[in-house]
Structure 1
Amino acid sequence: MPAVPAAADGKYRLLLVHAHPDDESIATGGTMAYFAHSGAEVSLLTSTRGELGEVIPAELKHLEQGLPGAVDDGGRGLARVREAELGQAVAALGVQQHFFLGQGLALAPGEPATVYRDSGMSWGSDGRAQAAAKVLPGSFSRAPLEEVAGHTAALIRALRPDVVISYAADGGYGHPDHVRTHQMTVAALELAATSADSQHAAWNVPLSYSILSDRAERPHDPAAEVFWIDGELAAKREAMRAHQTQILVEHNRFALSDLSFRPLSAREGFQLLRISATEHQARQGLLSPAGATAKRSLTDWLGYTLSSVLAGVLVAALGTMLHSRTSTLGDWQLPWGALLALVLLGSTITLLSAWARSVTMGLLLGIITYATCVIFSIPRGPAPLILGNLAGSLWLYGIAVVTLLSMLPALIAALRRKAKTQNR
């Protein structure tokens, strides 16, 4: 789970901000399902209802605006269909709460409820989306930034999310509603952190991330902090299939309105967008559930390795000092010192593995502890530090057992990650 403070009820809260119905499933569906099914509270904010989207099924083609013979209703009919599709998709992903911008909790106190329209788009000569030739009144991309940011800030204060995820500055592929959603989210994060409203106190979101684009012309900065989530493929596939007006899904591939199929994968990437000052001081990394990996420098690994070695030597020394302590219980000798030393070892392995986010570092600690104790068991002078009695055997050979048991949860998680990767 994310290395951020949990809410009072112990749950982590994620808020994802998207522009249109279907964006959430295509770009972040695997991640949303993974966190939702892991016990986190996942919420979704959608800016528009996708009134001007293209339509794939022939029987619904009359809902697509601007085509000959289409019903010219400003996209209201298509909006109703896409709202229903979105409801099915969020259920498939396990999303607990969904909001439309300008409605409910996503409405600034004292402001009238507002429906923000899909702005539409056209394709530029460079193959990227751009503004449509005609943008209708009430379109999201033309709404005042302070207005839509105020609505989003109100939702952030109400939900108090630990993590907020939305688009990068170019919206991924240039769609004006995606770009505006990024601008709105960034402004809302600052607004929510610096001011309260009549209903909720200010809330400084610990961490926010932008979605990595999979488009070749916009690779991510290789020096940036990037995280990958191996999400839930089956849930993502089901959610995308729910958006039948926009997406055609065939097993592990999908196509949009261009009917050009591409691979369907639940591996989704994110780049750090904003971090609060408090979190910057306390964090060791974000989005570190099973399946998330972060790029770490050689210096980081050297630090973790040195810490493992030093901790192993220290635990070996302390454990050896403790292990010979026993108590008599009738005819039995209770080697409580050796047992306490093994508890110390297991706790240290667990803590260091969590800190370093590495099974290898915990295993290294156990190996160093064992190797040091083997050296202690070599006779020097009258007697070795570790004798071949019950207490000595329990301490020396128990190190291997405790090391393996301490590694078991992490090893199980690694096997699950491997299985998920093979199913992508």
Structure 2
Amino acid sequence: MLPEKPAAADGILRLLFIHAHPDDESITTGGTMAAFARSGAQVSLLTATRGELGEVIPEELRYLEQGLPKPGRPGQSVPDGGAGLALVRTAELNQAAAELGVRQRMFLGEWPALAPGAAPIAYRDSGMSWGPAGPDGVRRAQAAEPVDPAAFSAVPLDEVAGHAAALIRALRPDVVVSYAADGGYGHPDHVRSHQMTVRAIELAGQTADQANPAWDVPAGYAILSDRPADGQDPEAPVFWIDGDLTAKRAALQAHRTQVSVRDDEFALSDLRFRPLSAKEGFQLLHTGSGASEAARRPVQRTRSDWFGYALASIFAGVLAAVFGTMLHGRSSMLGAAQVPWGAALALILVAATVVLIGAWSRAPLLGMVTGAAAYAMCVIFSIPHGQVGLIISNLAGNLWLYGVAGVTVLYMLSSAVLATRSRAARERRNSGRRGART
């Protein structure tokens, strides 16, 4: 999930999580945040709103919920626009952040998440309503009516993205995490958080003044949606983090107005209990030059993942050798010269297979494994079984057998050259960033 090494010279990994309301951070990313904080990473949290329009679970605090009384919900609400609930939820957020090991927490529109020259501002919760069930039978959130013009989802995108970009430039995170394009389940503030994050990463990487140097975020990730509609990229890599369950449980318990916790289950305002898990999924967020660079890097995989990729690479090499051997003997005469076009086509087949496996696995080493497997198979085919082998020592046979080895070596050398150039380019960019900061 992470860049190969932290961009900062101090060797500390920096992660920035961007969420819409207090409690979102604990529900969807709490385990991951706690696990990285425990490992020594610097975990920061940006929250867009204070959750003024959230529903309230505890009976004794129901008066804080705007719009009460409601059928079946006794009590008289305080018509303060949600200011009282905002204070309570801010206190809950502070406690939850402490449980997760988050040392830097801020609201959007307050320093350092404040665009240069802008006046501090508090963005309001936009509210939501539940839409009808879709074709899949799942209900998703939609905008409430009416929406306050000062609500987070209603203000211009570049305004809020400018604040988030200022924070990114100040923190210089290695990783930025927010929602997928559908906001996870459709909440307008979650959707806006995604849009803001994408735009903020772009703005943060643009040329800035000396006091606010540009920062290209190395990698951006989207939280896997729990009610996916069209917000997840089917081609982007998915990563699962086994986070800190104990810390996540404690953080959820801190959000008592929004979450009920019992043992290894939790419930939201619908009071429907569901399993409490710290295994959280993320998907590469394709945005900005840094994220594109991260997409080209080898991803972290388990041993079983590597074993599967290695088997597939070997199998592809063997198949290429089989079909190439069947083809290599074809030739034609051009005047007095023999043209071994079959061997040439067979070598093109092997070269294409090696390159495709390297690109598919995003690991040049596995492309070399494919080439080595093809060559080993050709050596076996050249061993006589009876009077002659399947590959004999003539022009076509020698071109095919030794050509496979040549293709593999050529791929290895070209991969090494490209890797060296990529490292040099990253070092030049990092050197430029360090120069801009000094």
TM range, smaller chain? 0.5 to 0.7
Give the partner amino acid of 1:20: H
1:231 and 1:15 mapped to 2: Cα distance?
16
Counterpart secondary structure, 1:45: strand
Counterpart secondary structure, 1:30: helix
Is the counterpart of residue 18 in structure 1 residue 19 in structure 2? yes
Partner of 1:173: 185
Is the counterpart of residue 119 in structure 1 residue 130 in structure 2? no
Partner of 2:116: 109
Partner of 1:161: 173
Question: Relative to 1, partners in 2 of residues 1:195 and 1:257: Cα closer, same or farther, differing over 3 Å?
Answer: same
Per the TM alignment, residue 274 of structure 1 is displaced from its structure 2 partner at its CA by: 2.6
Give the partner amino acid of 1:175: H
1:296 and 1:179 mapped to 2: Cα distance?
38
Partner of 2:3: 3
Per the TM alignment, residue 22 of structure 1 is displaced from its structure 2 partner at its CA by: 0.2
CA contact (8 A) 1:46 1:101 kept: yes
Partner of 1:401: none
Following superposition of structure 1 onto structure 2, how do residues 360-375 of structure 1 map, counting pairs within 5 Å? none
Following superposition of structure 1 onto structure 2, how do residues 141-220 of structure 1 map, counting pairs within 5 Å? 141-197=153-209, 199-215=211-227, 220=232
Counterpart secondary structure, 2:158: helix
Could you list the runs of 5+ residues in structure 2 that have no partner in the other structure?
A: 70-75, 134-138, 318-362, 370-438
Partner of 1:67: 68
1:160 and 1:268 mapped to 2: Cα distance?
24
1:189 and 1:61 mapped to 2: Cα distance?
39
State the Cα deviation string for residues 307-335 of structure 1 (Å, max 9, x = none).
Answer: xxxxxxxxxxxxxxxxxxxxxxxxxxxxx
CA contact (8 A) 2:185 2:228 kept: no
Give the partner amino acid of 1:125: P
Question: Relative to 1, partners in 2 of residues 1:108 and 1:236: Cα closer, same or farther, differing over 3 Å?
Answer: same
State the Cα deviation string for residues 5-27 of structure 1 (Å, max 9, x = none).
Answer: 41111101000000000000000
Is the counterpart of residue 284 in structure 1 residue 282 in structure 2? no
CA contact (8 A) 2:220 2:291 kept: no
Per the TM alignment, residue 134 of structure 1 is displaced from its structure 2 partner at its CA by: 1.1
Is the counterpart of residue 233 in structure 1 residue 240 in structure 2? no
Partner of 2:42: 41
CA contact (8 A) 2:34 2:248 kept: yes
Per the TM alignment, residue 101 of structure 1 is displaced from its structure 2 partner at its CA by: 0.2
Which of 264, 286, 292 pairs up with 2:276? 264
Following superposition of structure 1 onto structure 2, how do residues 230-379 of structure 1 map, counting pairs within 5 Å? 230-274=242-286, 277=289, 280=292, 284-285=297-298, 288=300, 298=309, 302=313
Partner of 2:57: 56
Per the TM alignment, residue 158 of structure 1 is displaced from its structure 2 partner at its CA by: 0.3
Partner of 1:81: 88
Per the TM alignment, residue 222 of structure 1 is displaced from its structure 2 partner at its CA by: 4.7
Give the partner amino acid of 1:179: V
CA contact (8 A) 1:4 1:206 kept: no
Per the TM alignment, residue 4 of structure 1 is displaced from its structure 2 partner at its CA by: 3.5
RMSD: 3.0
Give the partner amino acid of 1:67: L
Question: Relative to 1, partners in 2 of residues 1:268 and 1:296: Cα closer, same or farther, differing over 3 Å?
Answer: farther
Give the partner amino acid of 1:54: E
2:303 and 2:279 mapped to 1: Cα distance?
10
CA contact (8 A) 2:245 2:277 kept: yes
Deviation >2 Å, runs of 4+: 1-5, 214-224, 274-286, 291-303, 355-358
CA contact (8 A) 1:109 1:199 kept: no
Per the TM alignment, residue 197 of structure 1 is displaced from its structure 2 partner at its CA by: 4.2
Q: What percent identity do the matched residue pairs reach?
A: 62
Counterpart secondary structure, 2:16: strand
Per the TM alignment, residue 194 of structure 1 is displaced from its structure 2 partner at its CA by: 1.1
Which of 96, 100, 104 pairs up with 2:103? 96
Per the TM alignment, residue 215 of structure 1 is displaced from its structure 2 partner at its CA by: 2.5
Question: Relative to 1, partners in 2 of residues 1:50 and 1:296: Cα closer, same or farther, differing over 3 Å?
Answer: farther
Partner of 1:27: 28
